[in-house]
Chains A and B, each alone.
Chain A
């Protein structure tokens, strides 16, 4: 029973993990400051398996991979958004953190809803509202990276 944290459009990587913590290489330490500048209570409250739902252009701004790393290190299961900024999208795939692009789900799901996700099929189930949504499918090339457990693993497998 994942809990939902809901945010608006244009959640940028500066609020996901502020630059003042980028001198910190440890993912667990980054996690303690995750979402600090948009939702101060997030890092203390978030539980493994929780889900972030957001609007358009999630993860815009800086290329810092620390952003998906921090969210992943919090135990967040996935981010569902109407769209993702392109560098965040690449970074999430490359570090093996699941993201789902789904307009209807991102619009419909509310904070507190109980959500299940199936990455293989892209089906998002809203247990509270008794509804299902279909996320955008990844290109096959991207599926191969995800299946290998990230970009560097997929490169090593190929070598």
Chain B
């Protein structure tokens, strides 16, 4: 029986020669991940169930990224629970304020997710590591607790959708536009319980940061994971980040897919998602002129170097419009430092942006940029659900970093190509 790339990784981790879609398996895990919102619940369940030992001190990552630096007393108490657990169990990959970054940028940066891995994380955007040719998926706190105790997780082997990328993307188009366009095509449950497997000649021209953004939002169309083939760019990214053996899996040529979707990058336009679903997509020309109060550039979706460079290129020598609050958040300390060295932080501050330490903050309406009633934001984050960034009357438009930056300058939703 032929297998998809995802199926091959799952089979290898279940100790099986073959798996087929729908089969229930138990897979060994290379990494179990949690954050300051989900890990405290997992730790409580772990202890309540009577477990006293983790399966590995190296293969668990605890990342305090959501409410940090702590926004209030309750958040501080949750972080303290994770900190104590990390100390007690000698968790090697524990990231606290000072070293912490947004988990899905931080984990690949530290070489903790590599090609061929099977990873679960108690955060829905754990699917990000598919960009590296890994199987990774979001789960809840109880699965995380079980993973920390046993190093395994149960899975229903997914069928797959093949996404063929052709052509080459144009200026001001990024990975974000590719994934928003795809979600617009198939809907927020268009890949429910399935894998997205990206392929085609268009893949090779995509940077790793583009691929991270695309895999990151696989969950927004319901997918279990979104995976890319491993190529020279993947290997170049992994070089120097890990001593572990990289395992490269390729789908069988006759692997079965439930459907094939082709996206022509030559004609893809900058794309935005209007309230209140990521699938509510428009091309930029259909949205420009919409009024705004706030712009957010950052998150596990779009807080990487390429994202900051694209935003800075627009903001360089320009000013944020008077009625706009523009908040820029690098995803990790390494990205923060690099942005300083490249002079990007100066550009952001001189243009009138707030520049923050890494945090998930405003993406989930936690802190560092919560909206008021009836306010509109354009944001490079991943969800524009009702109440996601503030009260239920607030509105979020999702976009790529160049569109967000151009909108900050224009004071309304804007096409970067129109800036003078």
A residues bordering B, Cβ < 8 Å?
A: 10, 12, 14-15, 18-20, 22-25, 37-38, 56-57, 60-66, 69, 83, 85-87, 90-91, 94-95, 139, 141, 150-153, 155-156
Contacts and interface: CB of A to CB of B under 8 A. Distances in A.
Contact of A18 (B44, B146, B365): B365
Contacts of A19: 37, 364-366, 388
B156 to A, nearest CB: 7
A90 B153 CA distance: 11
B74 A24 contact: yes
A10 B45 CA distance: 28
Interface stretch (B200-208, B247-255, B379-387): B379-387
A19 B222 CA distance: 20
29 contacts: A10-B189, A10-B277, A12-B385, A12-B386, A23-B71, A23-B78, A57-B192, A61-B385, A63-B139, A65-B122, A65-B140, A65-B142, A83-B189, A85-B189, A86-B224, A87-B219, A90-B143, A91-B143, A94-B146, A95-B140, A95-B142, A139-B156, A151-B143, A152-B45, A152-B46, A152-B146, A153-B49, A156-B49, A156-B50
B41 interface: yes
B257 interface: no
A139 B189 CA distance: 21
B140 A87 contact: yes
B193 A22 contact: no
Interface string B178-212: 00000000001100110000000000000000000
Nearest to A86: B193
Interface of B: 24, 37-38, 40-41, 44-46, 48-50, 66-67, 71-72, 74-75, 78, 121-124, 126, 138-143, 145-146, 149-150, 154, 156, 188-189, 192-193, 219, 222, 224, 277, 364-366, 383, 385-388, 392
A37 B392 contact: yes
A15 B277 CA distance: 13
B154 A65 contact: no
Nearest to B156: A139
Given A20-B366, A62-B364, 17 more contacts: A12-B386, A18-B387, A19-B37, A23-B74, A24-B74, A37-B387, A56-B189, A57-B188, A63-B139, A63-B140, A65-B122, A65-B141, A65-B142, A86-B193, A87-B219, A91-B142, A141-B154
A99 to B, nearest CB: 13
Contacts of A23: 37, 67, 71-72, 74-75, 78
A85 B205 CA distance: 32
A87 B149 contact: no
B41 A15 contact: no
Contacts of A152: 45-46, 48-49, 142, 145-146, 149
Given A57-B192, A95-B142, A151-B142, A63 B123 contact: yes
B124 A151 contact: no
A85 B129 CA distance: 20
A60 B392 contact: no
Nearest to B41: A65
Contacts of A20: 365-366
Nearest to A40: B392
Contact of B40 (A25, A69, A94): A25
Nearest to B223: A86
A79 B214 CA distance: 32
B187 to A, nearest CB: 9
Interface centre among B40, B46, B140, B277, by most chain A C-beta atoms within 10 angstroms, is: B140
Contact of A15 (B40, B67, B219, B387): B387
A61 B386 contact: no
Contacts of A37: 386-387, 392
Contact of A139 (B24, B44, B46, B386): B24
Contacts of A64: 37-38, 140
